[in-house]
Amino acid sequence: MSAVDDRNDSHSTPQRFGLLRQKEKGYYSVRVKAVAGNCTAPQLALIGELATRYGRGYISLTTRLNLEIPWVKIADVPVVCAALDEAGLSTGSTGRNVRAIVCCKGTVCPHGLYDTQETCRELDRIYYGKPLPAKFKIGIAGCPNNCTKAQFNDIGIMGQRVPQFEASNCTGCGACVVACKARALLLDEDGTLLFRQSLCLNCGTCIDRCPHNAVRLLAEGVTLFIGGTAGRRVMAGLPLGMRIPLSACPALVEAVLVVFLQYGEPGERFRSMMERVGPELVLSTIRDVVQEL
């Protein structure tokens, strides 16, 4: 049975397939997944055509980078879904599973420390739609500017570059002080550079700005935040507190999902599970995976 056939199965839940019942009887909003927030221009044109023909001529953008065609009559849902399938698009990102993964435009953003959209596509290929005790959200930020608010996802991923200062090379020119938006750098009255590490966000900007090779790259990679949530409950995820290579992301996501499948109760969000079983169980499991990398 194809995905479209499934949608017509009266025993299935339409919402599971990205078909959201509206307040108005007989109408659905069809949620179209845009992997990594991208659609090709022809795909976007098709969605527009479908919205004009079967909806009311407009498209809604969701907070997780999906597109919805509202006002589709229930009888028209199969033809809309078939047209989307044919264009390589799918409906979904609903239900108790890994939802559409959100990433920023770090791929092209001047601040991006890694290819966020490719990371998103890779995680989407492996984990999107994986059944879990409750919905599960992953957010990817290319740098500590954190446009995707990584901490407020079940797993947040953020690129970081850690600076190391070489006092012997520093001339006190102040270029890094001007560049540091976190105000982690100061020059004292003598022109000596002061590094307030507790304020440093590990964005790495000072590394690029120093003209005297006095700021070196100590470490780079991504860091994770685990168990964040936003919505009815707003809780920041716990920082993993270490950087890992980008290539290790799938293994760490896998480790978190295995814990969720093992300990989560039906309908229980990951954050609630963490609070019930103790966050250290989750964090220690992840750190064990990191040690084995």
The site for ligand SF4 (CB under 6 A) is made up of 104-106, 109, 111-112, 141-143, 145-147, 163, 170-176, 179-180, 182, 184-185, 193, 200-206, 209-210, 212, 214-215
How many other CB atoms are there within 10 angstroms of residue 102's CB atom?
A: 25
Q: Tell me the closest approach of the beta carbon of residue 57 to ligand SF4, in angstroms.
A: 31
If the CB atoms of residues 105 and 287 are measured against ligand SF4, the closer one turns out to be 105
Locus of tokens 């990433």: 103
Q: Tell me the closest approach of the beta carbon of residue 248 to ligand SF4, in angstroms.
A: 20
Per-residue DSSP letter, 271: H
Tell me the C-alpha distance between 71 and 28, whole Å.
Answer: 6
DSSP-assigned beta bridge partners for residue 30: 19, 69
According to DSSP H, which parts of the chain are helical? 3-8, 41-54, 77-86, 116-127, 175-179, 205-209, 249-263, 270-277, 279-292
Q: Tell me the closest approach of the beta carbon of residue 65 to ligand SF4, in angstroms.
A: 13
If the CB atoms of residues 26 and 174 are measured against ligand SF4, the closer one turns out to be 174
Q: Tell me the closest approach of the beta carbon of residue 188 to ligand SF4, in angstroms.
A: 11
C-beta nearest to ligand SF4: residue: 142
Contact 251, 196 (CB under 8 A): no
If the CB atoms of residues 15 and 145 are measured against ligand SF4, the closer one turns out to be 145
Nearest to 29 by CA among 86, 65, 99, 81: 81
If the CB atoms of residues 32 and 203 are measured against ligand SF4, the closer one turns out to be 203
Q: Tell me the closest approach of the beta carbon of residue 155 to ligand SF4, in angstroms.
A: 16
Contact 235, 185 (CB under 8 A): no
Q: Tell me the closest approach of the beta carbon of residue 5 to ligand SF4, in angstroms.
A: 39
If the CB atoms of residues 109 and 290 are measured against ligand SF4, the closer one turns out to be 109
Q: Give the orientation angle of helix 249-263 with respect to helix 279-292, to 10 degrees.
A: 140
Structure tokens at 235: 């809780």
Q: Tell me the closest approach of the beta carbon of residue 180 to ligand SF4, in angstroms.
A: 3
If the CB atoms of residues 130 and 209 are measured against ligand SF4, the closer one turns out to be 209
Locus of tokens 């190391």: 164
Give Cβ neighbours of residue 216 (< 8 Å, ≥ 6 apart): 163, 164, 165, 166, 207
If the CB atoms of residues 94 and 117 are measured against ligand SF4, the closer one turns out to be 117
